[in-house]
Structures are given as C-alpha cells and as structure tokens.
Amino acid sequence: METFTEPRPLVESPRYSREREDVLEQLDPRTLDAPIAELVARLNVLPFCFTLQSCYGHFIWRPGQDDRSLEPVPDEDCGQVRYRIAYLALCLENSTAGRALHRSLRNTAATDPEYVQFGSADWFWERHANSYALQVEPARYQHRDEALLDHEEALRVEERRNRLFEELANLVRATATP
C-alpha cells in the first residue's frame, strides 16, 4: 500500500469547517494507540487542524504476536522485525496558523529525512484537501505501510519514532500557548 507522496501545496478549502466537524464527531478515542491518544486529542482542539488517522507504529518479532502490540523492541537480538509504520495523518486549514503548522511539520521531517517523511497521500487528499502525513519509516520503504528490519535498525526506528512523537507533543504545547 502506498503511504507517501510529495506534499502538495495548501489550497483553499471552503468545506474545511464542515469536514472537521464530521471527522471529529466520528472519532472514537478508544481506537487510538494509547501512547499518542493525548497528542491526537490536543491536536484536535486546535481549530486549524484535525487528525484523520494515526498509528504509534508496531514492532512484531515473535510468532503469534499481536499486530497492534505496543511492546518495545527487546534489547537482545530478536532477528528480523516486522515494522508497521508510525504516522500521523491530519488535515490543515489554509490559514496563517495552518500554514505555520505545515512549515513546522515539514521542518520536523527535514531534520531526519532518512527516517521521517512529510507528505501527502492521494486517498486522504481526495476526501480532504490539505491533508498530510508525517511518518517514521526508513526512507527506502517510505512508500509502504510496513517493512522488515534487522534488529539494530528496528531499535533505531523505535528510538526515532519515540523522539518524533515527543517533538510533536512539544510543538502542540507551544502552538496552543498564547
């Protein structure tokens, strides 16, 4: 499944407010991965953006392990690890605040392009103009929703994922502060 395309420029979207209401009305917080539930909730309070989908990212290395496992990658070598990507897909309002968040998200990804990408996804854009995804994935897999990684790289991706969500939480706190 393709999960990444180059980010499109922001456009006028007269339906933004209605789309935001509809999406947030349907959001069930119980379906969110616990480690990012608060981040998603804080983003959705901001009037110039709303989340479409998210995933904390899952590392699977044991036969029969739950695909949505939140277990950290073990320190000892566990062989190949199947990684289901961490991402945050959101829709931005074409406003001063929305454009500022767009720049911040793009800049966040630019600090580590080998593991963090900012872009658009066609299927989101078709439903919601100005939709973007920030994802954590080795660049060579950026067009997939999962990858097989060796243990060492899985640890590196996990560390980068954790740092990204911390950076996003800090960004949201700073954005929400007058």
- pLDDT tens digits, one per residue of 65-106: 999 999 999 999 999 999 999 999 999 999 999 999 999 999
What distances in angstroms separate CA 76 from CA 29, 144, 151, 163, one per listed residue?
A: 34, 27, 8, 21
pTM recorded for the entire structure: 0.94
Q: Is the sign of the CA dihedral 6, 23, 158, 141 positive or negative? A: negative
pLDDT band (50, 70, 90) for residue 109: very high
Alpha helices in 27-150 (DSSP H): 34-45, 96-110, 122-127
Fold of 16-176: SSo0622-like fold (3.30.1960)
Residues 26-60 pLDDT 10s: 999 999 999 999 999 999 999 999 999 999 999 99
Q: Is the pLDDT of residue 1 over 50?
A: no
Q: Is the pLDDT of residue 178 over 70?
A: no
Residues 118-166 pLDDT 10s: 999 888 999 999 999 999 999 999 989 999 999 999 999 999 999 999 9
CB of 92 within 8 A of CB of 101? yes
